[in-house]
Structure 1
Amino acid sequence: MAAQTDLVPISKARHGHRFWRRFSSYDFARPLAEVPVVAEEILHCASAFPLAFRRSGPNSGSAVTPVALLSLIPEQDTPFVSHEGHWLGTYVPSHLRSHPFASQTTGQQDQMALLIDENSGLITDNPRDEPFFAPDGTLSPGLAQVVQFSRTRAAAMQATEVLCATLEAMELFTPFISHEGVDLPVGLLTIDSGRLKSLPDAHLVLLARQDALRLIHAHQVSLQHCLWLDKASRQTGLTKATPDTDTTSPGNDALDGFLSALAQAQENDAVPG
């Protein structure tokens, strides 16, 4: 299930006299089945979510990136967001922390455009909120911080895509259909363990030097989360499908209790990042 967004470039002409506020609920993440992650956060993500790989576009030559799986059931809300909009995971992927902003590269080298989701409900005309621009037309301090975060993450994603390109050049990716009896979303990729074992020593040394082996191992270890995520996703679907159920019903309390316990168990087992 995809969230409905309306991303537009931020400009003085469109947003010069408007304001924005930081999100206070993770309701926006509820319909997300997966989010892209970068290599720098891979250990934190591996301690909380199953990790897989996916092409960023429909073509076979599209870049491959790692993704954190938030739900394993098609069109099913993620169990990582509570009924009240709280995040139940032990780590928040950087992709989610940037909401309602996003970035995209422009036609010019090393140039980035900052976008904002105008359907987020976080753009206002209230002077008590944060302005987009200062009176002199420069970026406001708050928006400047967002730009810096977006640039840092964009650079990290570019470096992560380079790592994945090395894995692809060594023909290590293979279709990922299921794991230990758990069906996975369509289009995912995993590491071919047999192919990895057969690599020449020189290739393994290269992977180690580039930290690509850490990416591989994090992916492999993270797959232990598939079973409980499948169970949690199905539990979420059953609760949502129950008619006339409000957030105070025993069924929903049981679900939130289960997920809270799950989050605590993840925290106890978390891999230091």
Structure 2
Amino acid sequence: MRIRPVPGGYAFARNVNSVPLVGSEFAAAACHFPIVFAGGSPEQMMPAALLGLSQDENLFVDAEGRWAEDVYVPAFLRRYPFVVAENGEGEDFTVCVDEAVIDEADDAMPLFDADGNDSEMLQHAIAFLGEYQKDVRRTREFMELFAHHKLLVEKVIRLERPGNEPATLSGFSVIDEMRLNTLGAKTLQKLARSGALGLAYVHLMSLSNVQRLSARMDRKHQGAHGLH
């Protein structure tokens, strides 16, 4: 089996307005995106980067499928064309590949060598996916702390945009900063030692990027050519 990924191609992500994040990405992602939490219940929630303020619109991918210059690309997207199917609760996982990139031409990239072993390209992909899955497990641990201390509250973003219809975005949660500030010293110490407290404040600071997203959306809809 051989594949032909599109170099630097993010057209596959053009219609997603959020993607999952892991804790190790917070610092880089917070420079560009609002970080929120999404899931069916507080116990199931995971962090996500908001990439757009309307359904099915990623403001960081242009018409040619290029990612916006000098903007962080979440690891969830950098995994492509590979994804992971988890096998239970252990560290074992199954590697899957998007059928759209399979190409049997001789000049495409092989997944296996002549002896049936993983090619160098596939080895690198599996190593990346393995580290990513470790990050997912660590992220679930601090999310459990947020849920245990009831720090997550539902949020609705309403943007008043001069000359445009107000934009409303819902279906996600944020950290309740007032509740966070009233936690006892022992609880705060536990959150700090786990790294969760620092991530909570990075998340809160990232929410100011909502206005930057709004400005980017207005530029795009006003017929701006390309993303800058």
TM-score by length of 1: 0.75
Q: Is the 8 A contact 1:19 1:126 kept in 2?
A: yes
Checking the alignment, whether the CA contact within 8 Å between 1:23 and 1:100 is kept in structure 2 is no
Please give the alpha-carbon distance, in whole angstroms, between the structure 2 residues aligned to 1:190 and 1:223: 9
1:194-245 Cα shifts (integer Å, max 9, x gaps): 1111100001111111111121111111111101212323443x36xxxxxx
Shift of 1:252: 4.0
Q: Does 1:97 align with 2:78?
A: yes
Is the Cα–Cα contact under 8 Å of residues 73 and 233 in structure 1 kept in the other structure?
Answer: no
Return closer, same or farther for 1:161/1:183 CA change in 2, 3 Å cut-off: farther
The runs of at least 4 consecutive aligned structure 1 residues that moved more than 4 Å come to: 179-184
RMSD (Å), alpha carbons: 1.9
- 1:84 corresponding residue in structure 2: 64
Q: Does structure 2 conserve the Cα–Cα contact (< 8 Å) formed by 1:19 and 1:131?
A: yes
Pick one of 182, 195, 199 that aligns with 2:183: 199
**Equivalent-residue separation in structure 1 for 2:168 and 2:93 (angstroms):** 34
Percent identity for Structure 1 against Structure 2: 29
- What is the rounded CA distance, in whole Å, between the counterparts of 1:44 and 1:61 in structure 2? 25
Q: Is the 8 A contact 1:48 1:91 kept in 2?
A: yes
Q: Which amino acid aligns with 2:25?
A: E
- Counterpart contact for 2:157–2:170, Cα < 8 Å: no
Give yes or no for contact 2:29–2:74 (8 Å, CA) kept in 1.
yes
Give the 3 Å change call, closer, same or farther, for CA 62–184 of structure 1 in structure 2.
farther
Given residue 65 of structure 1, which amino acid in structure 2 is its aligned partner?
M
After TM superposition, give the deviation of residue 161 of structure 1 in Å: 0.9
Give the count of matched residue pairs: 221
Q: Is the 8 A contact 1:73 1:234 kept in 2?
A: no
Tell me the distance in 2 between the aligned counterparts of 1:194 and 1:187.
Answer: 21
Deviations 1:157-206 (A, max 9, x none): 11001101111101100001126768553320101111111100001111
Secondary structure of the corresponding residue to residue 166 of structure 1: helix
Alpha-carbon distance in 1 for matches of 2:168, 2:28 = 21
| Aligned residue type for 2:113 | A
Between the aligned partners of 1:166 and 1:62, the Cα distance in structure 2 is 9
The CA deviation at 1:19 is: 0.4
Amino acid at match of 1:101: F
Quote the Cα distance in structure 2 between the aligned partners of 1:170 and 1:62: 11
Deviations 1:95-135 (A, max 9, x none): 111111100211373210001111x3x21011212111122
Pick from 141, 144, 148 the counterpart of residue 169 of structure 1: 148
Q: Using a 3 Å threshold, how does the CA distance of structure 1 residues 198 and 179 change in structure 2: closer, same or farther?
A: farther
CA distance in 2, matches of 1:156, 1:200: 28
The reply to whether residue 230 of structure 1 matches residue 210 of structure 2 is no
Amino acid at match of 2:170: V
Gaps of 5+ in 2: 161-165
Q: 1:138 aligns with which of 98, 117, 125?
A: 117
Aligned equivalents of 2:111, 2:149: Cα separation in 1: 45
TM-score (norm 2): 0.89
1:145 maps to a residue whose letter is H
Q: Residue by residue, what CA displacement relative to the aligned partner does 1:237-261 show, whole Å, maximum 9, x if unpaired?
A: x36xxxxxxxxxxx342xx2xx31x
Letter in 2 for 1:23: V
Establish whether residue 19 from structure 1 lines up as the match of residue 2 from structure 2.
Answer: yes
Indicate conservation of the 8 Å contact 2:29/2:49, yes or no: yes
Q: 3-state SS of the aligned residue for 1:190?
A: strand
Q: 1:63 — aligned with what?
A: 44
Q: Say which SS state the counterpart of residue 72 (structure 1) adopts.
A: coil
Structure 1's unaligned 5+ residue stretches are 1-17, 240-250, 261-273
- Report the Cα distance in structure 2 between the residues aligned to 1:23 and 1:184, rounded to whole angstroms: 34
Distance 2:30 2:130 in 1: 24
CA shift for structure 1 position 90: 1.6
Whole-angstrom CA distance in 1 between matches of 2:217 and 2:159: 16
